[in-house]
Amino acid sequence: MYDVAIIGAGITGCSIAYELGKYNVKTVLIEKENDVSVGTTKANSAIIHGGYDPKPGTLMAKYNIKGNIYTKELCKKLDVPFKQIGALVVAFSEEEKKTLEELKERGEKNGVPDMEIWDKAKLQKEEPNVSKEAVAALLSPNVGIVSPWELAIALAEVAVQNDVDLKLNTEVTGIEKNDDTYEIATNNGTVKAKYICNAAGIFADKVNEFINEKTFEINPNRGEYYLLDKSQGELVNHVIFQCPNEKGKGVLVAPTVHGNLIVGPDSQPTSGNDTSTSSTGLNFVRNTALKSVPGINFRESIRNFAGVRARTKEHDFHIYEDKENKGFINIGGMESPGLSSATAVALDIVKMLADTGLVLEEKNNLVDTRKVHRFKHLSHEKRAELVKENPLYGKIICRCETVTEGEIVDAIHRPIPATSIDAVKRRCNAGMGRCQGGFCGPRVQEIISRELNVPLKDVPQDRIGMDIITGETKDGGAK
C-alpha cells in the first residue's frame, strides 16, 4: 500500500515525485509509456516563461512567477541544461506598441522584474537579424531556455534515488475508492494508495472521470515546429515572440540550449495525442516566423515535430482536491506555461497533501544533487582523465553531437535506465544532430542490447512497438 500514487510522469508528475522524495512517504509514480517525459513534456517550445503573459490573479500567473525562479534553482542543482537569455516581444505597428505597454503593465502586476521597452534602434542593435519592419520590443530578462525532457528525467532520477517507485508501461484504467483507500486498476495489476495526484497531461480529464463526474474538459490543441541545424542557432540572441493573440503566445524563434534554432508553434484543435505534422501547419509557422526573422534558412531544418496542449475553456490550470474524494488531487489543464510552472505547483501539491492528512517527516540521507558527464563540454585535461578512467569515453558514437560510448553506457545505467534509442537521445543527445541518428542509431541500439542483455530486435526506436528490426532474414523471422 502506498501513501501517494502520482499518475503521469511528465514534468508535473516528476516534479511532485521529486518533492515527495524528500519525505518518508511511500510514493509511486505511474506512467503508461516506457520512459518518463514522453508526453507533452518532450514536445514544446522549451521556454521558462517570464510571467507577463498570464492574466493577473490566475493560477497560471501565480505559478509561472514562482516556477520561473524555482526551476532555475533546480536546473543548477540537478545539472540540467538551462540558459537565461531573456525574451523580446516584437511590435510591428503603433497599435502593437500599445500591446507591449499592456503586457508590461500586466507583467508588473504579476511581479515580473526588470522589464523594459526597447525602441527600434536598440532592438536593431541587440538583434540585427530581427525584421527591419519591427518598431519596438518588450524585454523580459527573466525568461530562459531549458531542456524540458532532461529536467523531467533529472527530477524523476533523484526521486527514484530517494525511494520513489516508478512503474513504467503501466496504464491506469480505472479508480475505485474503498473507505480510505484508492484502488487503482492498471494493465499491470492493482495499485493501492491513500492519496492520488492526477498529472496525466492531456488525459487528466479522463483520469478524473474514472472517479468523478466531469469537472473539467481538455480540448487538445496541437502546435507544430521546425528544429533547425546549429548553423541557424545564433541568428537571434533572445527568444523572439510576436504580440500574443487570442490563440496564444504565437510563433516564436529561439535558440535552444543545445545550440539549434526552434521555430513554432501554430495552434490547431486536435483529438487525443495526435502529434502528426502537416504542410498547412508548417507553412503557417514558416511564413509567420519569417515576419520576425526574415533570414531564417529553412533548408537547414533537421526535424519537424508537434506537441499537444492540454487546453481547457477556462484557459487556466485546474489544481484542486476533489470535493467528493478526499485526497484526490487534480492537476489538469497544464498548458503553457505548464513547463515553467510545474516545479512550483509541486511545492503546493505537497502542502495540499499535508493539509488533507499526509504526514511529512523529512528523510535522512536525502539525495538532492546530480552530475552528468558531457564529454564535448569538458577541457582537454578532463577528457584525458575520463578516457584514462574508462576508455569508452574515448570512443565517439554520435559524430554530429560528439557523444561518446561512455556517455551512452552511463545513460543506459542511470537510475531510470534508457531502454530505447530515443531514451538514450533524451539523456545524452546521441542522435540529436544534423543526421538525426541516421549513423549512430544502429550503434546505440547495439549498445543498449549489449548492456541490458536484451535481443537487438527488442530495442525500439522509442515507444514499445516502434520496432526497427522485426526479425532476422536468415532464420526466416522477418515480417
Residues annotated as part of the active site: 49
Contacts of 412 (CB under 8 A, 6+ apart): 418, 419, 424, 447, 448, 451, 452
Give the nearer residue to ligand FAD in terms of CB position, either 68 or 232.
68
Rg (CA), the chain: 23
Asked if 200 is part of the footprint of ligand FAD (rule: CB under 6 A), the reply reads yes
Single out the segment in contact with ligand FAD by CB under 6 A; choices: 30-38, 81-89, 364-372, 402-410: 30-38
CA distances from 331 to 19, 126, 191, 328, 349 (A): 15, 39, 20, 10, 9
Q: Nearest approach, Cβ of 267 to ligand FAD (angstroms)?
A: 8
Separation between Cα atoms, residue 371 and residue 232, nearest integer Å:
29
- Which of 21, 307, 437, 441 lies at the binding interface for ligand FAD (CB under 6 A)? 307
Taking CA 469 as the corner, what is the angle to CA 467 and CA 474, rounded to the nearest 5 degrees? Answer: 155
Q: Is 437 in the site for ligand FAD (CB under 6 A)?
A: no
Cell numbers at 368, concatenated: 538532492
Judged by beta carbon, residue 10 or residue 441, the one nearer ligand FAD is 10
- Tell whether residue 54 is a contact of ligand FAD (CB under 6 A): no
- 441 is an interface residue for ligand FAD by CB under 6 A: no
Q: How many residues bind ligand FAD (CB under 6 A)?
A: 40
Quick one: which segment of 337-345, 348-356, 366-374, 470-478 binds ligand FAD (CB under 6 A)?
A: 337-345
CB-based contacts of 184, cutoff 8 Å, min separation 6:
5, 7, 30, 172, 174, 175, 190, 191, 192, 193, 196
- Answer yes or no: are the C-beta atoms of 259 and 230 closer than 8 Å: yes
Min CB(30)–ligand FAD separation in Å: 5
SS3 category, 54: coil
Q: Does 39 bind ligand FAD (CB under 6 A)?
A: yes
Please provide residue 456's backbone torsions phi and psi, each rounded to the nearest 5 degrees: -55, -40
Q: Which is nearer to ligand FAD, 38 or 235 (CB)?
A: 38
Beta bridge partners of 139: 88, 116
**Pick 335 or 407: Cβ nearer ligand FAD:** 335
Element (H, E) at 305: strand 301-309
Residue 45 in the binding site for ligand FAD (CB under 6 A) = yes
Minimum distance between the CB of residue 70 and ligand FAD, rounded to whole angstroms? Answer: 13
Cα–Cα distances (Å) from 162 to 26, 155, 393, in that order, read: 10, 11, 28
> Which residues lie closer than 8 Å to 301 by C-beta, 6 or more apart?
226, 227, 228, 229
Sites for ligand FAD among residues 389-418 (CB under 6 A): none
Is residue 172 part of the contact set for ligand FAD (CB under 6 A)?
A: yes
User: Does 333 interact with ligand FAD (rule: CB under 6 A)?
Assistant: no
Q: Is 7 in the site for ligand FAD (CB under 6 A)?
A: yes
**Stretch of residues binding ligand FAD (CB under 6 A), selected from 46-54, 104-112, 131-139, 468-476:** 46-54
316 binds ligand FAD (CB under 6 A): no
Q: Which of 20, 25, 46, 158 binds ligand FAD (CB under 6 A)?
A: 46
Say whether residue 29 binds ligand FAD (CB under 6 A).
no
- Cβ neighbours, 10 Å, residue 96: 16
Q: Could you tell me the smallest distance in angstroms from the CB atom of residue 13 to ligand FAD?
A: 6
Torsion angles phi and psi, residue 285, rounded to 5: -60, -45
Q: Give the separation between CA 275 and CA 272, rounded to whole angstroms.
A: 9
Of residues 136 and 202, the one with the C-beta less far from ligand FAD: 202
Q: Is the bond preceding residue 265 a cis peptide, omega within 30 degrees?
A: yes
Q: How far is the CB of 374 from ligand FAD (least distance, A)?
A: 23
Binding characters for ligand FAD, 258-277, by CB under 6 A (x = yes): -------x------------
In the complex, which residues of this chain contact ligand FAD (CB under 6 A)? 7-13, 30-33, 38-41, 44-47, 49, 171-172, 199-203, 207, 223, 265, 307-309, 334-340
